[in-house]
Amino acid sequence: MRTARLSLRRPVPADAAAVLRIHSDPLACAHNPGDMIFTWAEAVTRCAAWIGHWERYGFGYHVLRRLDSDRVIGFCGVKVVRLHDLPVLNLFYRLEPAAWGAGLAGEAVAAVIGSVAGEPLPVIARVRPANVASARVAARAGLRRAEHLDTEGEDGVDWIWASP
């Protein structure tokens, strides 16, 4: 899948290096420190889980790179999770800090949401209250605050943004 500035593709085992690089960056994981990983084995396991989701559902987390570069700058996609005992598509986006501020997360999110438009499950984004930039990305993607769905997450309260 392509956008104006990005290539989005399925992960492969070799992406574990980028998974480790981005998910071991304290700034990239500042709002979700529970997502941090520190070892090659953790990166391989996480990458394998993402690949497994694709194999099971036909969609999942994408590896992002700018069209003018081979460097992986982040990840964006959806995975099936349970929220209040109901299945939903959890929207995930994490970019390396050097890619922040250029609208790339929003561009990737729009493409991902468009790619799952036919799926019967609602799309949600779990956003930490202090993560204003992530909330802006969710809002620009058409998700709306759903306070009644807020929940306690691994790293604190998750504000839920949901598809209409």
Task: List, for residues 1-52, the tens digit of each pLDDT value.
Answer: 999 999 999 999 999 999 999 999 999 999 999 999 999 999 999 999 999 9
User: In 10 A of CB 12, how many CB atoms?
Assistant: 11
Find out whether 16 and 40 touch, Cβ atoms under 8 Å.
yes
Task: List, for residues 116-137, the tens digit of each pLDDT value.
Answer: 999 999 999 999 999 999 999 9
pTM of the model: 0.94
CA 70, 40, 23 angle in degrees (round to 5)?
Answer: 60
φ, ψ dihedrals at 135, nearest 5°: -60, -40
Can you tell me the distance from the alpha carbon of 140 to that of 143, in angstroms, rounded to the nearest whole number? 7
Query: What per-residue confidence (pLDDT) applies to 164?
Result: 87
